[in-house]
Amino acid sequence: MENNNLIELSFNYYDLKKKEYKKYYNSSIYEHNYDRTTNIFYLKKNNNNILKFEKQLLGSFNKDTNMFTWGWYYYIDDIKHDNTYVINKILNYIFKMKIKNNDITLNIRNIFLRYQYNISYPLELELILATTLYITKSDMIYRDVNNKNIIFYYLLRNVEIL
């Protein structure tokens, strides 16, 4: 795949998946029968399970500092979070990118290689989310807003509608 198409392909995939799972974006998330070996969680609404999925930590966004922190940083720092093997797939993808004299490709690579990235514009965060969803071929990105200042983003894979 040409790197120049990565942004377009990513946003097309992101938009498609957002439409597909739109009605679930405002639900509350609860852990139910969590097993670290399978990493299975359930999304519940009105005390009924509505989605079953595997959840992987993508990263977090601090609204006070406008910093996005990759999930793999939490894993390295030994904070107890979900397994982040999906994020490692992203890093491997980025390392294999062919860099030409193309500022876009170089900038994307730099965003993904730093453990933290200062978000200056909302579109930068959307670029991270869209590109990550596309590279991993995940089904959905879930925002956990339990903390007022920090939003955790999770990749949901193998979604099963119950």
Q: What is the pLDDT of residues 82-130, one digit of tens each?
A: 556 677 777 777 777 776 666 566 777 777 777 888 999 988 899 899 9
Higher per-residue pLDDT: 17 or 91: 17
Instruction: Look up the domain containing 22 and give its range.
Output: 3-161
CA–CA separation, 133 and 140 (whole Å) = 7
Q: Is the pLDDT higher at 158 or at 33?
A: 158
How many domains, in total, are found in the chain? 1
Q: Which two tokens stand for residue 137?
A: 């071929």
- More confident call, 3 vs 45: 45
| pLDDT, mean of residues 13-35 | 69
Percent of the chain with pLDDT over 90: 17
Report the run of H or E that residue 150 belongs to, with start and end: strand 150-161
For 67-81, what is each residue's pLDDT tens digit?
Answer: 999 887 765 544 444
